[in-house]
Amino acid sequence: MITWLGMEFVEAGDDFLRMRMPVDARTVQPMKRLHGGASVALAETIGSMAAGRCVDLTQFTVVGAEINANHLRPAFSGWVYATARPVSLGRTLQVWSIEIADEAGKLVCISRFTAAVIPLPAQ
C-alpha cells in the first residue's frame, strides 16, 4: 500500500516522524478531493512506523489497535504531509497523534492512532 499510494519517508527527529503522500489519481475520491481513506491509510502507516521505532523489533512487534480521524478541509493537488508525535509510550500500548497538512501547512486531517506492543514468540 505504501508504494501504491506513493507514500514517502521525509524525516525523523527525536520526537516525530514525517511522511508525505501525493494527492493524485491514486488518492482522490470521485469529486477530485483527497479521499478520507487515503488519509487514514497514511495516518496508520506513519503511526505504525513511528511505533516500531520505539520498541526492540527483535523482541516485539507493533500492530494497530485503534485509529480515528477528523477530516478538516479538502486537498485537491500536490502533496500532503503527515507528522506523527507520541502521546503515550506505554509498555503494551502506544498512542500517537498524527497531523496531516497540505503544502501550505493547513491542517487537512487530524488522527489518533493506538498501537499494541506484542512480544514475539521465543525462538
* Predicted pLDDT of residue 64: 97
Distance CA 39, CA 35 (A): 7
**Whole-model pTM?**
0.96
Q: Which domains does the chain have, with CATH numbers?
A: 8-119 (3.10.129.10)
Catalytic pick among 8, 11, 44, 66: 44
Number of helices followed by number of strands (H, E) in the chain: 1, 6
Strands 107-119 and 79-89: unpaired
pLDDT tens, position by position, 23-57: 999 999 999 999 999 999 999 999 999 999 999 99
DSSP element (H, E) containing 45: helix 36-52
* Predicted pLDDT of residue 123: 72
8 is catalytic: no
Q: Give the position of cell 500492530.
A: 63
pLDDT grade for 105, boundaries at 50, 70 and 90: very high
